[in-house]
Amino acid sequence: MSTPTRRPEPASLPDQPLSVALVTLGCARNEVDSEELAGRLAADGFMLVDDAGSADTVVVNTCGFVEAAKKDSVDTLLEAADLKAAGTTQAVVAVGCLAERYGKDLAESLPEADAVLGFDDYPDIAARLRSIVAGETHHPHTPQDRRKLLPISPVDRATSVDDISVPGLGGPRAVRRRLDGGPMSPLKLASGCDRRCSFCAIPSFRGSFVSRRPSDVLGEAVWLAGQGVREVFLVSENSTSYGKDLGDLRLLETLLPELAAVEGIDRVRVSYLQPAETRPGLVEAIATTPGVAPYFDLSFQHASADVLRRMRRFGDPESFLGLLDQVRALAPDAGVRSNVIVGFPGETEAELQTLCDFLVAARMDVTGVFGYSDEDGTEAASYGGKLDEDEIRARTEHVTNLVEELTAQRAEERIGETVEVLVEHVDDDEVVGRAAHQGPEVDGSTYLVGSAARVGDLVRAEVVATEGVDLHAKESP
């Protein structure tokens, strides 16, 4: 990492503490990163503010996953730069996956940002921001494959990687500072990914898979409960791999009951399970442990065995439906969600039909549908057999329409079902929350009819109507 150099005429630092607004884009893992950055900044004297227009510094935690997310990140940085041009802020800084993935290339193409900081800058984030506001130039990193940075030996890792909770390789653990006071909070299980899916660039900029120690995860859950959190959402790039680098692949099965037993935590939810790695013991732990939501976020991506092999993944309709049978045998009302990619290179109409037939049989609560696009540095970007954009768009629309119909039908099947709803928003007479089968933000909501519940309440209610994937429910007597 290079040392910042000073511009000829640096700006003067204000007498009062510098204020900073953190704008977070992308997934729940980014939310945790932002709260860890907030903790570091607050501990070093920065004043955290919600309104970017009133901040000395705007830090945009970017997403670098797909083209739409990259565009959203760039647009947000440009909007923050407009605030600087209007004289309401002194510096605009990019952090997060897009910044890590493109480094100096992003800085050169986006001069409106005052600095592009990588993951290795996180431990010294306060010093970095002060120097940038003071007029110093930060030279961004040259991107590299972060999978090559981790020590192989778990013994070596015990003195380095396990002692941090941000995606870097040095510095003390951050003290997390909540930016959203709601009753749900993401809780990071691990960082990075060891899989080599041909369409995905995430491992190259997030690094190899590294589990957090169970004691750290439990300790953070206790802290979150003290902050008023009632549901923790366990996040990682691949939760089914948790513990493998610590010598125990079944560590998640033993950790879940301990998390559910934390005083104040009423619901534990697991995200992002790889179907090929989802073992029977883990299915049982998620489906039957009291306090753990019977919720299965299964990353199918497709159903055709041939397409999955080209994706460097494993599975077929029979094995996937068998996994869902295991889930529903233990928890008939379990929530199931997934994502699928349509228009992958070489996808035939027969393979597309295989996917559609699987979706009909799977009866999932929510399915995200994404049209394929090339990602820099991935194996699939070099594949032949690319479909043209119009064909990908047409196939994506076809599958999306099918999914909307199927998920609406699945929601209707829940009419008469008793659900436990965690209330997250109360606006006038509208009380909105999520049932156990609904993950945060992307799985729909449950609207409580005629309820006087407050934010943070856990309410038993009977589903009386649906609207798409959303439920309407009336409190049980």
Residue 1 lies in a domain: no
* Arithmetic mean of pLDDT, 332-355: 98
- Give the Å distances, CA to CA, from 414 to 207, 294, 368: 40, 15, 20
In CATH, what number is assigned to the domain containing residue 332? 3.80.30.20
Residue 356 is labelled as binding a ligand? no
Checking if the pLDDT of 158 tops 90, the result is no
* SS3 state at 456: coil
Q: Identify the domain boundary among 107, 141, 175.
A: 141
The alpha carbon of 452 is separated from its chain's Cα centroid by a whole number of angstroms, namely 32
Residue 63 is labelled as binding a ligand? yes
> Is the domain of 274 the same as that of 315?
yes
> Is the domain of 100 the same as that of 213?
no
Amino acid at 313: R
In CATH, what number is assigned to the domain containing residue 422? 2.40.50.140
* Arithmetic mean of pLDDT, 344-370: 98
**What DSSP line would sit under 148-190, residue for residue?**
GSS-SSHHHHTTTGGG-SSSSSSSPPPPP--S--SSEEEEE-E
Percent of the residues in the chain that have a pLDDT greater than 90, as a whole number: 79
In CATH, what number is assigned to the domain containing residue 126? 3.40.50.12160
| 457-470 confidence digits (pLDDT tens) | 999 999 999 999 99
Of residues 321 and 442, the one with the higher pLDDT is 321
pLDDT value of position 205: 87
Checking if the pLDDT of 202 tops 50, the result is yes
pLDDT value of position 431: 96
Checking if the pLDDT of 27 tops 60, the result is yes
The CA distance from 117 to 95, in Å, is 5
| 398-431 confidence digits (pLDDT tens) | 999 999 999 999 999 999 999 999 999 999 889 9
The CA distance from 107 to 429, in Å, is 47
Q: Identify the domain boundary among 370, 389, 413.
A: 413
Query: Chain-wide mean pLDDT for the chain?
Result: 90
Q: Which domain holds residue 71?
A: 19-141
* Arithmetic mean of pLDDT, 186-200: 93
Residue 7 lies in a domain: no
Task: State the alpha helices, DSSP H only, in 239-380.
Answer: 251-260, 280-288, 305-310, 317-330, 349-362
* Arithmetic mean of pLDDT, 313-325: 97
Residue 200 is labelled as binding a ligand? yes
**Lowest-confidence pick of 85-89, 135-139, 209-213, 296-300:** 85-89
Q: Which two tokens stand for residue 124?
A: 């010294």
| 278-297 confidence digits (pLDDT tens) | 999 999 999 999 999 999 99
Q: Identify the domain boundary among 413, 439, 463.
A: 413
Cβ pair 89, 53 in contact under 8 A: yes
Q: Which two tokens stand for residue 223?
A: 């802290």
Q: Categorise residue 333: left if φ over 0, alpha if ψ from -120 to 50, beta otherwise.
A: alpha
* Arithmetic mean of pLDDT, 183-196: 94
Checking if the pLDDT of 181 tops 90, the result is no
pLDDT value of position 15: 56
Checking if the pLDDT of 174 tops 80, the result is no
- Predicted confidence band at 163 (pLDDT cuts at 50, 70, 90)? very low
The CA distance from 471 to 450, in Å, is 14
> Is the domain of 192 the same as that of 269?
yes
> Is the domain of 287 the same as that of 374?
yes
Count of domains for the chain: 3
Q: What is the pTM of this model?
A: 0.89
> Is the domain of 202 the same as that of 340?
yes
pLDDT value of position 299: 95
- Predicted confidence band at 330 (pLDDT cuts at 50, 70, 90)? very high
Burial track 224-253 (b if 16+ CB lie within 10 A, e otherwise): bbeeebbbbbbbbbbbbbbbbbbeebebbb
**Lowest-confidence pick of 61-75, 86-100, 355-369:** 61-75
* Arithmetic mean of pLDDT, 444-464: 96
Checking if the pLDDT of 85 tops 60, the result is yes
> Is the domain of 298 the same as that of 167?
yes
pLDDT value of position 103: 93
- Give the Å distances, CA to CA, from 335 to 59, 294, 364, 444: 35, 6, 7, 12
Q: Which two tokens stand for residue 227?
A: 């902050």
The CA distance from 269 to 274, in Å, is 15
